[in-house]
Structure 1
Amino acid sequence: MLTIGLTGGIGSGKSQVAHFFASWGAAVVDTDVIAHELTAPGGLAIEPIRAAFGTQALAADGSMDRDWMRACVFADPNARHRLEAIIHPLIWDVTKAQALKAQGCYLVVVVPLLLESGRWRDRVDRICVVDCDEATQIARVQKRNGLAVATIERIMAAQAQRQQRLDVADDVVLNDGQTTLPLLEERARAVHQRWCALTARHHDVSDPTVDKKRF
Structure 2
Amino acid sequence: MFVIGLTGGIGSGKSAASRRFEQHGIVAVDADVISRQVVEPGSEALTAIQARHGDSILLSDGGLDRAALRQKIFSSPEEKAWLEGLLHPLIADETLRQLEAATSPYVLFVSPLLVESGQKVLCHRLLVIDVPESLQLERTMARDNNPRDQVERIMASQASREQRLAVADDVICNDRDLDFLEGEVDRLHTEYLKLAAEHA
The one-letter code sitting in structure 2 at the alignment partner of 1:107 is V
Q: Report Cα offsets for 1:49-78 as digits up to 9, x if no partner.
A: 112333232222222222221111111100
Q: Give the equivalent residue in structure 2 for 1:155.
A: 154
Matches within 5 A, 1:191-206: 191-203=188-200
Q: Report Cα offsets for 1:133-187 as digits up to 9, x if no partner.
A: 11111111112110001110000000000011000000111111xx111111111
Q: Give the equivalent residue in structure 1 for 2:3.
A: 3
Compute the TM-score of the two structures, normalised by the length of structure 1.
0.88
How far apart are the structure 2 equivalents of 1:33 and 1:90? 13
How far apart are the structure 1 equivalents of 2:197 and 2:23? 19
**Contact 1:174–1:187 at 8 Å: present in 2 too?**
no
**Contact 1:12–1:132 at 8 Å: present in 2 too?**
yes
Q: Give the equivalent residue in structure 2 for 1:165.
A: 164
Q: Percent identity?
A: 42
Matches within 5 A, 1:1-215: 1-118=1-118, 120-176=119-175, 179-203=176-200
How far apart are the structure 1 equivalents of 2:18 and 2:153? 25
C-alpha RMSD of the superposition: 1.3
How far apart are the structure 2 equivalents of 1:166 and 1:60? 41
The one-letter code sitting in structure 1 at the alignment partner of 2:197 is A
Compute the TM-score of the two structures, normalised by the length of structure 2.
0.95
**Contact 1:74–1:80 at 8 Å: present in 2 too?**
yes
Once the 2 structures are TM-superposed, how far is the Cα of residue 189 of structure 1 from its aligned partner? 1.2
Q: Which moved more, 1:34-43 or 1:21-30?
A: 34-43
Q: Which moved more, 1:52-61 or 1:12-21?
A: 52-61
The one-letter code sitting in structure 1 at the alignment partner of 2:53 is F
What stretches of structure 1 of length at least 5 have no aligned partner?
204-215
**Contact 1:52–1:82 at 8 Å: present in 2 too?**
no
The one-letter code sitting in structure 1 at the alignment partner of 2:121 is D
How far apart are the structure 2 equivalents of 1:186 and 1:171? 14
Q: Report Cα offsets for 1:26-69 as digits up to 9, x if no partner.
A: 11101101112223433452112112333232222222222221
The 1:43/1:78 distance shift into structure 2, 3 A limit, reads same
How far apart are the structure 1 equivalents of 2:44 and 2:26? 27
